[in-house]
Structure 1
Amino acid sequence: MNRLSSAARRAVFAPLDTEARVEAVARRLGDAIVLGLLVDGEQLPGESDLAGQLGVATVTLRESLMALRQQGLVATRRGRGGGTFVRAPADTLNERLTQRLLAHTVEELRDLADHYAAVAGGIARLAAERADSPDLDAPRRSLQDFADAQDPTARARIDGRLHVELAAAAQSARLTREEIRLQTEIGPLLSLPFADDEAHGTADRQHRQLLDAIGAADPARARGVAEEHIHGGVRRLIELRLKGARAS
């Protein structure tokens, strides 16, 4: 069970920069679970600690956890060894993503891709300029996990984790939070083609090229690979969207 690096986890549990409503807290944690950033069986911090990290009142956090329990995303155990634990909905992820894809128009997907490519390119450039070799240990582990993954759902989760780890390697808390936000909006959709082994292989090659460019401290090449990775994924995604529209 590979977990996020400490830098990426800090972004997941960073204080909310919006009004600290129950819905906002539940969405932040729920998105992290659905994306696989918080893994199945992982124990969340204690209520007082987690509320402090997120910058919300304990009562707000408790209501948010209650909403997540109702969604089946967390479970609470009492007694020794108890706490709140993640329950990752692996069996429903693909269905959720397919419905989300069909809700987008082609124009919206292209616009999202333009924004995401710009952010991903900036992250890659900064990572190439700032990351030391130890900063890339977590992305390299995720890189190998992605290459080895046979299940499309696992591929989707690992891909999201890899991109968040790369954002953390760029050493920008704001960009890491933006990467997580974009992952919830379009990142998981880009993983839908991973059921196809060819698409998985293409993504794997691009991941390796990206890590190679960052490791070689080549900002221009890293940015170019990152942008092409996003735009290429969206082209495949639009094909799926059009097929889904015709089928329905």
Structure 2
Amino acid sequence: MTETEDTLIDRITDRLVTAVAIGEFLPGTRLPAERDLAVSLGVGRTTTRAALERLVARGILEKQRGRTGGSFVREEWPTSEAAAVTRWLEEQWPQLVDAAIAGTHLHGAIARLAAVNRTERDIVAMRARLDDFAEAATGAARQHADSLLHLAIIAAAHNDTLSEVVREHERRFTIVAPAHLWGDSDSRPAMEERAAREHSELVDAIVDGRSEDAGRIAQHHVEIDLELLEAVRRRAIGR
């Protein structure tokens, strides 16, 4: 293996550790198939496989065989991985902040359009996704319910161009869109409580046709991503 190849594997390993740290992939969840993960990371399968093998050796992931097998997150990032998280976040920080700020404005625009264009069918869908989020168990189930709610809001905007811009932005911001960041066990309870409250306020504003309120609430809500990144950054540096 050449030095360049080894360096690239190091970078992808750091990226995957950081994905666990910021809650893209929560404990117990299965990572995408190796082929799909390689595409999302923009590297070859050989590099992706080598990075996954390193994380298995370090106890962060475990491999399971069979039809429902794959690479699963064993636990939240341990103290020994703080340097990897710090390296990735420090290197990417300007781009991450830029993307997070852009995300607040994009979701604000989507929410404003949804408040103007939503149909009765959209209202039913958003209310149902809101109920699903409230009933979901903490962690991965709520993360999934959150994604479905935001997809319902995007659909309610009825603007294909802006919807695609939002989806493409999230594909750049996270490894597997549209899964949003979900923090770690320390930050998650407060974040989920806030998300539940803001989800309700946002859907109410859209249903009522209050476009400016909807945009303002959506922008503030999506600021959670940057706040979670900042929390993990502080925690990594302090470890």
* TM bracket (short chain): 0.5 to 0.7
TM-superposed CA distance for 1:156, in Å, is 1.5
2:228 to 215, 236, 239: 236
Tell me the residue number matched to 1:204.
196
Deviations 1:82-134 (A, max 9, x none): xxxx96979439869x9889723443332111100110000000000111121
Partner of 1:92: 73
CA–CA distance in structure 2, aligned partners of residues 142 and 100 of structure 1: 33
Instruction: Tell me how far apart the structure 2 counterparts of residues 123 and 88 of structure 1 sit (CA, whole Å).
Output: 37
Q: Sequence identity of aligned pairs in percent?
A: 25
Query: Which protein has greater RCO, CA pairs closer than 8 Å, 6+ apart?
Result: 2
Aligned equivalents of 1:211 and 1:87: distance in 2?
35
How many residue pairs get matched? 168
Contact map agreement 1:193 1:200 (CA 8 A) in 2: no
Q: TM-score, normalised by structure 1?
A: 0.56
The reply to whether residue 104 of structure 1 matches residue 95 of structure 2 is no
RMSD: 3.5
The equivalent residue for 1:222 is: 214
**Which residue in the other structure is 2:147 paired with?**
160
1:220 deviates by: 0.3
Residue of structure 2 equivalent to 1:191: 182
Segments of 5+ residues of structure 1 without an aligned counterpart are 1-33, 41-66, 72-85
Counterpart position of 2:137: 150
Q: Aligned partner of 2:104: which letter?
A: A
Contact 1:128 1:222 in 2 (8 A): yes
Change (3 A) 1:130 1:181: same
Given the superposition, is the C-alpha separation of residues 137 and 111 from structure 1 closer, same or farther in structure 2, using an over 3 Å criterion?
Answer: same
Go from structure 1 to structure 2 and tell me whether the alpha carbon gap of 1:192 and 1:149 turns closer, same or farther (over 3 Å shift).
same
Q: Distance in 2 between matches of 1:120 and 1:100?
A: 27
CA–CA distance in 1 between the matches of 2:221 and 2:133?
15
Amino acid at match of 2:149: L
Deviations 1:148-201 (A, max 9, x none): 222311122221221122111100112222232233324645322576222101
Partners of 1:88 and 1:129 lie apart in 2 by: 44
Which residue in the other structure is 1:176 paired with? 163
Q: Per the alignment, do residues 112 and 172 of structure 1 end up closer, same or farther by CA in structure 2, a change over 3 Å counting?
A: same
Q: Does the 8 Å CA contact 1:126/1:170 hold for their aligned counterparts?
A: yes
Q: Does 1:131 align with 2:122?
A: no
Q: Distance in 2 between matches of 1:159 and 1:244?
A: 26
In structure 2, the partner of 1:63 is none
Q: Are the counterparts in 2 of residues 159 and 191 from structure 1 also a CA contact under 8 Å?
A: no
- For residue 216 of structure 1, report the CA deviation from its aligned partner: 0.4
State TM-score, norm by structure 2: 0.58
Q: How far does the alpha carbon of each residue in 1:8-39 deviate from its partner, in whole angstroms, 9 at most, with x for none?
A: xxxxxxxxxxxxxxxxxxxxxxxxxx99xxxx
Gaps of 5+ in 2: 1-23, 31-44, 50-66
Cα distance in 1 for partners of 2:122, 2:106 equals 19
Q: Aligned equivalents of 1:88 and 1:180: distance in 2? A: 28
2:215 counterpart letter in structure 1:
R
